[in-house]
């Protein structure tokens, strides 16, 4: 295995990265038909459908400063012996784009985020090159929270593998935080930017009012 250890010249913040913020984690069941429809987003095919996650995040503190993020986390079937991938992701700062691509092979794209948030609702619009998509989330009035640590989860769920510019990147983020349930999520979708998740089945999903995360150094090798 040929490991690359030399960072790009413009990379000034080496991992591990400590991050803090708040987030929304939306779990969806995608049918085989919807997976085919969203083929341009590089979702792994499945004859029976499967779960994916969408994460909407506000990082209040990171090595490159605060920034916002919308990502799609693809979880292939365990029987396929494949690791999770991040096939689509938007962030609000160029320095995050540069570091994410170089250090972890994450295909970050620059976008603008507009937030309207209170105790019961969230509306967020993401704008990329004069194209928009929006998400609207409702939270229950009475909502208990519970603590989750990534050490409580199977390691296979947390491992991520990316391919970027002829190299493979593998890493396992660690996190902890308090989770609470959300009531609903609706999209004003744009099929040019993101899969139409109004056509997917929303599973139990969560608000994470405060979390801490560590992004470790990736293992990098040539394909």
Ranges of beta strands (E only) in 31-118 are 50-61, 67-74, 85-91, 108-110, 112-117
Rounded Cα gap, residues 221 and 169, in angstroms: 7
Quote the pLDDT of residue 81.
58
Considering only the top CATH level, what class is 17-222?
mainly beta
Cβ-based neighbour number of residue 4 at 10 Å: 12
Quote the pLDDT of residue 7.
44
Quote the pLDDT of residue 6.
41
DSSP 98-148: HHHHHHH---EEE-EEEEEE-SSEEEEEEEETTEEEEEEEE--SS--EEEE
Would you say 94 and 103 are in contact if contact means Cβ atoms under 8 Å apart?
no
* The token pair that represents 98 in the structure block: 């540069």
Rounded Cα gap, residues 18 and 159, in angstroms: 17
Domain ranges (residues) in the chain: 17-222
Low-confidence ranges of the chain (pLDDT < 70): 1-9, 77-82
């Amino acid at each position: 295995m040929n490991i690359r250890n030399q960072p790009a010249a413009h990379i000034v913040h080496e991992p591990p990265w400590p991050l803090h913020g708040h987030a929304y984690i939306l779990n969806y069941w995608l049918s085989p038909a919807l997976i085919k429809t969203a083929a341009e987003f590089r979702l792994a095919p499945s004859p029976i459908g499967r779960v994916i996650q969408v994460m909407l995040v506000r990082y209040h503190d990171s090595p490159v400063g605060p920034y916002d993020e919308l990502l799609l986390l693809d979880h292939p079937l365990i029987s396929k012996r494949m690791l999770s991938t991040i096939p689509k992701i938007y962030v609000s700062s160029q320095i995050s784009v540069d570091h994410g691509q170089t250090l972890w092979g994450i295909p970050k794209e620059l976008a603008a985020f507009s937030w309207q948030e209170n105790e019961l609702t969230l509306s967020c619009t993401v704008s990329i090159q004069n194209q928009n998509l929006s998400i609207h989330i409702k939270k229950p009035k009475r909502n208990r929270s519970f603590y989750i640590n990534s050490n409580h989860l199977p390691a296979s769920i947390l491992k991520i593998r990316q391919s970027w510019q002829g190299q493979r990147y593998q890493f396992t983020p660690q996190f902890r935080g308090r989770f609470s349930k959300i009531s609903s999520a609706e999209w004003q979708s744009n099929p040019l930017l993101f899969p139409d998740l109004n056509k997917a089945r929303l599973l139990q999903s969560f608000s994470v009012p405060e979390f801490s995360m560590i992004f470790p150094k990736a293992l990098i090798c040539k394909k």
